[in-house]
A = this chain, B = another copy of it.
């Protein structure tokens, strides 16, 4: 497998475009992905009880055989908008379907932006009218889905599966309820691999649990979170089966795409200056390992310590302790970067200058060893800064 330059439309048979429709002041705010061929599709969605209208519409589209397009707008989340919200999401789906010559049910819909305001359908209409089916600029799609993200987030990988070169591309937008009343993490993945819907859904769910579900910016699960994968089979290889050796390659590709997008989202969290990666090793089981990793990276006290470049292991062991009351608190190792700060729960002396060098980097790795089993868990987050408070306190609805 190798990483290549490209866009969400790099896999064979995919096209994408983005356009400015006026939902946002200046930047692109509507985009689509289109597949020449019907694609197996899989999705995971927010667990929030309050689900935006597009989530409901896309879930029912996913229940059909295959998908062939995704229409996305930013600037308005179409969340908490009642029955009109659902009608609007359906209308958006219908308009895109007509322009692409598809049935409505083969189009997924996603929205991100302000909560509680109705979608201005005239702008949406204008936007869809402006999109190009096969002559679009795919990287415009990467821009069109952003809200307060400071940069686009994309990755493309390539590998051989079942005798064909398979390409997979992923694009995402920022995590957390990033902006006041702005919702959400969105990620879209395209591939020309041939894989059936059920296996794709299983695989997506499995990898989501160790990638997107392991990032946190501020602990707030939004109303619009959505990850969609479209696999259109255009690479020409045989359909991938669960017991093929090629299935492991597909897992590896999807894992890399999703993990890298997850890290990009964490690193670009609101106000963030640093990516924090936490690795918990030798836990009793994977769930425990992941939970502890996520609690550490989600702790406001750990996050502020990392912002302040302070090797504050007291806050780390405290987070371990409340993440899982059943761990043995007397045999915990903690390292920051390569420097052990706690061994067998005993404080270690470390070189201050070396620690300082580690803590001023833009990526900090915290490693925890529980000495209780064989499971490993990873999680990613960012530091908590003045800028976070500023972004979220100064904005007025």
Q: Are B220 and A322 in contact (CB under 8 A)?
A: yes
Are A320 and B50 in contact (CB-based, < 8 A)?
yes
- Could you list some 13 contacts between A and B, CB below 8 A? A48-B325, A49-B321, A49-B324, A50-B321, A51-B321, A177-B315, A220-B319, A221-B318, A223-B318, A304-B389, A305-B393, A310-B397, A386-B386
- Using a CB-CB cutoff of 8 Å, which residues 194-212 of chain A contact chain B? none
Nearest CB on B from A97, distance (A): 27
Whether A134 sits at the interface, judged by CB under 8 Å, is: no
Asked if B395 contacts A384 (CB within 8 A), the reply is no
A256 → B minimal CB distance (Å): 28
Q: Do B395 and A389 touch (CB < 8 A)?
A: no
Bound form: Cα–Cα A324–B322 in Å: 21
Chain B min CB distance to A341 (Å): 9
In whole angstroms, what is the CA distance A55 to B269 when docked? 38
A25 interface residue per 8 A CB criterion: no
Q: A49-B321, A321-B48, A325-B49 given as contacts; is B300 within 8 A of A80 (CB)?
A: no
Query: Considering residues A222, A321, A390, A394, which has the most beta carbons from chain B within 10 angstroms of its beta carbon?
Result: A321
Q: Does A311 contact B (CB under 8 A)?
A: yes
Question: Does A307 touch B at the CB level, under 8 Å?
Answer: yes
Chain B residues with CB under 8 A of A51:
321, 329
Distance of A397 Cα from B316 Cα, bound (Å): 13
A255 at the B interface (CB under 8 A)? no
Residue of B with least CB distance to A300: B218
Partner pick for A305 among B317, B325, B392, CB 8 A cutoff: B392
Q: Does A281 count as interface, using CB distance less than 8 angstroms?
A: no
User: How far does the Cβ of A295 sit from chain B's closest Cβ, in whole Å?
Assistant: 9
A331–chain B nearest beta-carbon distance, Å: 11
- Determine the distance from Cα of A382 to Cα of B288 in the docked complex, in whole angstroms: 30
Verify B48–A322 contact, CB threshold 8 A.
yes
Residues of B within 8 A of A342 (CB): 80
The digit string for A111-154, where 1 denotes a CB below 8 A from any CB of B, is 00011100000000000000000000000000000000000000
Contacts of A94 in B (CB 8 A): none
Given A48-B321, A389-B389, 10 more contacts at CB 8 Å?
A47-B322, A49-B320, A49-B328, A51-B329, A80-B345, A116-B347, A220-B319, A221-B321, A223-B321, A310-B393
